[in-house]
Structure 1
């Protein structure tokens, strides 16, 4: 099991972190690898640091060119990859030494196409995060948001080359890609280990482009939910479900979310979507009661749901924020 692994690492003005990130790859216990770094128009010390690293290890490939953005850098690196597997890495994170070995073994033993791992957040936030492990749980979790830590993703090179990142999904390119893969039958998994230290800081895309991420996320999730509502194998462009159908499906799927450990995620998503569904007062009360069936131990749920769902005037003022989602479903 000594297959070559191509690690793709986009970098833009990553001077404070890039050396630690790159060296965490070069000391991997799985040594048959190449590290492809796309220097995306950096104006700080990043190019000089990368040249020093490349001079000490022939496995490092550096491409320096004008800034084109993250999506272009990722796709360029994928096309340059010569390994049978591709691993993502960010310029500000740190991989555990055994990360690549464990992910390669996991993909082989579970006969899947792509997997992530748990992460240990550090920096401005400290938290250990795990993600659903099984393919069906991951695809269910995808209805509520991304089920992977993007810099931990590892998969078959053929899959990455078949599904490039979309230039129309800037700042939410990972979620859009996972949804597109899921709708095409790509098999997912997550290694139940923390194999990457994920740095949290204000310069991250998730902080700088938060509003664009929210708008794109809602539109993407709407498309994915539409696919699930139609059923796998149904043609795209089928009749769209109403907001009421969408909300009802979330509630009906409640036991599945609970079984997969996604109760908290469902609760947050449910109360951010239900108020904007086209439902009558009686339907709102019915859905509130169903929600209580999902979370029977939470005595505040019925009060919260009723207050949210029945305050129609308040919802109308912010309804346009969810226009993309409702149009998609």
Structure 2
């Protein structure tokens, strides 16, 4: 539906075709002979329904496993074979009442399971906000070519969308293009976006419901927010549940961080793992490095058998920032001083 909508209303996205028959899909990828090829299950697949095939053999196997072997059940009875795009990825969640669209602060997800963007795709191993690749100029282009056209397209189709619309974007050499939409807050992007919100979230929801979003002032805090996901060993394939967790207080938190419980259970005063992605360890600070240091310090306090997390969250984002390290170190020292002494300094 999304791809067809974008094609109809000239919203920039990757070239694609849709298939329900494996023979036709295989014929298409062989004709295209362009790799990597992106092969997607059309339905819900817990964030794991995308395979990046590096060659023909992998593409054929992916198509057979999705359509013929029902790897994701009925979710993969229809697949999308898509052009592979290159460039930094950006997630932009937005509030909309069907008339006004207000983008939230941008973020960067880390989809692959292993350091260096290797391993299988997951539902997300960590996030940082804002995304330094998403400049003011790019934001204006996205509003003009993607955000407003999407809202207008849905209105034109008689399907007015109200609520939270998530734009998954790729900043390609040919401009920003849409990878995906989600009709909800994105996980784990929301973990770093909402802590940066200045304003009353309930007031925003009410304004959307009453179609007066344009009247609400929505602001964002300065600085950065980072989330490191702690997952079960073996995720996103097979993993154990029911493993006892240590290092958190009786409310499941760690001093200096906010812990989102994604896959846990609480029994008899103890926390146990109960899913693939277990925790989202989240911190904010004046600098990106400061926020990352805090998140990883909190991660180091939490222990459970088989724990798995990426150690390079935010490294690509750091490379996109100005290289004035002395200035960054000074700002971090100043922030630490303020936190420790409870005072404000004049510039």
Scaled by the length of structure 2, the TM-score of the pair is 0.27
> Which is strand-richer, 1 or 2?
2
Higher-helix-fraction structure: 1
